[in-house]
Structure 1
Amino acid sequence: MLVLTRRDVYELVPMRDAIDLVKQAFCDLSRGTARAPLRTPIEIPDAHGTTLFMPAYVPSLHSLGLKVVSVFPDNPARFSKPTIHAAVLTVSPETGEPSALLDGTYLTALRTGAASGAATDLLARPDARTLLVIGAGAQGPTQAWAVLCVRPIETIYVFDRNPQASQSFADRLRELVPDLQARVEVVNELDTVIPLADIICTATTARSPLFSDALLRPGVHINAIGAFTPEMQEIPPETVARAYVVVDSVPAALAEAGDLIKPLQAGIIREEHLRTELGEIVDGIKPARTSSEQITLFKSVGNAVQDLAVAAEAVRRALALGRGQQVSLL
């Protein structure tokens, strides 16, 4: 079995390639040719954590396997460890044998960024120049990296309740994008920068809206990737109600996305408002942005087809280049 580290995955699959892979995976998911059962979460109350088990099969990319990802918010304070840990196991679609084990922590950030990159490519205004990242943790830099791949961003505003995360954001982004040209500015107040943002990426575990809907500028595009349970919420219900909402998977969004479930339960929106999947836009079945003033919202709770699409490509390239370590389980 092949073992690939974070460094292996980073060097084998650049963000631009990951965006294309995720587009294909979402297209297959919307067509019904890919299979991704709703993930199974297991709560760990004593540690205030959640571990999620996420299988998927993407035939067009010859990819089958499982991701296990843990979100333990107390880790940084209690153990000086990251909030998110993950591993991806790929399985041969021909024989069912375990074929590779990959670091899933970086891969999760990569594929989540790639999903936002795909959505930004299809939904953001072509003249977008200003990006606001809310949540400067593990997901923040790859969100910015993905947006930089599809739009000529000149200024990146960064906000996080943890000052250390905000201050280290630029250095972590430059590790991913050594030739970074955009100006990175840490902000302490969201109200002053929300009206300046052409694109907003939210990557938090908030349980109430992060900003006021009234502050949004016309034509803004939002990638909301942080809130992944019915109890969590990053986006104001008023924004959800007036935006063109696109999701990664309708069944998953209706089961897990608090940003959408809470307005539904309050009667602010109806399910018909949430029927557009990103894969349908990739496939040309549903429209992308329809006007320069339209507010667009991509809500993602994450789907294992993203992980397995990127993982399969990393494994293919590693085998071709002789990268990684071979380990026998016998």
Structure 2
Amino acid sequence: MLILNEQQVHQCLHLRECLEVNRQAFIALAQGQATVPSRLGLPYHSVSTEGTTPDWTLFKPAATSDTMGCKIVSVRSNNPAKGLPLVPATILHLNAETGRVDAVLDGTSLTAARTAAGSALATALAWQGKEVQHLMVFGAGLQAELHIQMIAEALPQRLLSQLTIVNRTPERAVALWNKIQSMCAEGKIAFDKIAHCQILALDDTAQIAQALSTASCIVTCTNTATPLFDGNIVLPAGCHLNSIGSYTPDMQEIPTETTIRQCRVWIDTPEARAVGDLKDLPSEHPVTLLGEVLQQDYEPAETQLPCTFFKSVGTAIQDVMTASVVVKKARELGIGTEIEMS
């Protein structure tokens, strides 16, 4: 059995390969070639100085005809105070033929990468080879970083005219911008250059409205329960939105009544329809699985909607298929620790 820590997973997960395997995962799901049972959730009540907090551990299995696995992901409110991740994740990868666990992978960076890959695939699909001039990102954590990196990889351009980063604490946004600049200089991001970056605080509503009015692509990766901006703002025609932060009926990043009604909606799994951003969307509004749109024979219905919206809640088939690529690469490179279980 192969053991891979977070650094080793990151070393074996190349952006282009991540994009391709997640494309395959979405299509397999849409074609009924993937088995993704309902997740099992176990509650855990953590006690802190602020009282008792209901935390969760989720078990998320998935399989195709030749790969199988299970992601175990938890939320532990007290972890940050202990210097541990708020959302620790581990992936068990099985040999489908023998049924034995053949690898255990840290799932933190893998989860962030596969999530960003979905958004990047949707962005490239929405823009169909055109250049995204203005990328606007809400959030300044790992997901924000990987979304910038993965979208750059999926697009054909080398220059981004403007990047806007919006965060509750501008200091974190500045730190992310400094890191993005370094990654561009080192060739770790496919943009050779980002001409201009604007840092905005989340409460600067006037500047946010101005930035939204020129945004080509918007990414929201926050844990907010309420919309991040005023739904009365009219987005530019052709604008594409990726929402990945909300994952329950009570969480919402994007205004439904106005903003999302301007969009053709793509979702990663049917479960995304119940999330706060989409739960109040009229049943007749066009909503399509991303895997269906990614298929070459897909023919979109006629619509006058000017924008596109991708809602991601994550699916275990992404984790399992991405893990398969990582395990194969690790064994090719001799990375990780092999342990005999019998």
Q: TM-score, normalised by structure 2?
A: 0.85
Q: Are residue 278 (structure 1) and residue 290 (structure 2) matched?
A: yes
| Aligned 8 A contact 1:289 1:296 in 2 | no
Which ranges in structure 1 are unaligned for 5 or more consecutive residues? none
Cα deviation, residue 138, structure 1: 2.4
Cα deviation, residue 192, structure 1: 3.0
Q: Are residue 99 (structure 1) and residue 102 (structure 2) matched?
A: yes
Q: Aligned partners of 2:297, 2:238: CA distance in 1, in Å?
A: 22
- Of residues 155, 158, 180, the one that matches 2:162 is 155
Q: Aligned partners of 2:138, 2:108: CA distance in 1, in Å?
A: 20
Q: Aligned partners of 1:133, 1:105: CA distance in 2, in Å?
A: 20
AA in 2 matched with 1:149: E
| Aligned 8 A contact 1:157 1:187 in 2 | yes
Answer with 25-34 or 79-88: which moved more: 79-88
Q: Aligned partners of 2:199, 2:262: CA distance in 1, in Å?
A: 29
- Of residues 309, 314, 320, the one that matches 1:308 is 320
Identity, % of aligned pairs? Answer: 33
Alignment of structure 1 residues 204-283 onto 2, 5 Å = 204-215=222-233, 216-237=235-256, 238-250=258-270, 252-255=271-274, 257-261=275-279, 263-264=280-281, 269-270=282-283, 272-273=284-285, 275-283=287-295
AA in 1 matched with 2:174: Q
Alignment of structure 1 residues 76-87 onto 2, 5 Å = 76=80, 78-87=81-90
Which ranges in structure 2 are unaligned for 5 or more consecutive residues? 47-52
Distance 1:171 1:213, change over 3 A: same
Distance 1:84 1:174, change over 3 A: farther
Q: Are residue 165 (structure 1) and residue 172 (structure 2) matched?
A: yes
Cα deviation, residue 5, structure 1: 2.0
Distance 1:277 1:6, change over 3 A: same
Cα deviation, residue 241, structure 1: 1.9
Cα deviation, residue 171, structure 1: 4.2
SS in 2 for 1:84: coil
Which residue of the partner structure matches residue 114 of structure 2? Answer: 111
SS in 2 for 1:297: strand
| Aligned 8 A contact 1:247 1:274 in 2 | no
Distance 1:198 1:141, change over 3 A: same
Distance 1:328 1:310, change over 3 A: same
Cα deviation, residue 282, structure 1: 1.3
Q: Aligned partners of 1:248, 1:204: CA distance in 2, in Å?
A: 18
Q: Aligned partners of 1:289, 1:221: CA distance in 2, in Å?
A: 18
AA in 2 matched with 1:301: V
Deviations 1:93-144 (A, max 9, x none): 0010001011100100010011111111111362212111101122111111
Which residue of the partner structure matches residue 57 of structure 1? Answer: 63
Which residue of the partner structure matches residue 146 of structure 1? Answer: 150
Q: Aligned partners of 2:77, 2:166: CA distance in 1, in Å?
A: 18
Distance 1:289 1:325, change over 3 A: farther
AA in 1 matched with 2:252: Q
AA in 1 matched with 2:175: S
| Aligned 8 A contact 2:71 2:90 in 1 | yes
State the Cα RMSD in Å.
2.4
Distance 1:214 1:31, change over 3 A: same
Between structure 1 and structure 2, the one with the greater Rg is 2
Q: Are residue 196 (structure 1) and residue 214 (structure 2) matched?
A: yes
Q: Aligned partners of 2:176, 2:32: CA distance in 1, in Å?
A: 38
Distance 1:44 1:279, change over 3 A: same
Q: Aligned partners of 1:227, 1:206: CA distance in 2, in Å?
A: 7
SS in 1 for 2:28: helix
Q: TM-score, normalised by structure 1?
A: 0.88
Q: Aligned partners of 1:154, 1:123: CA distance in 2, in Å?
A: 19
Q: Aligned partners of 1:232, 1:92: CA distance in 2, in Å?
A: 37
Which residue of the partner structure matches residue 38 of structure 2? Answer: 38
Q: Are residue 185 (structure 1) and residue 198 (structure 2) matched?
A: yes
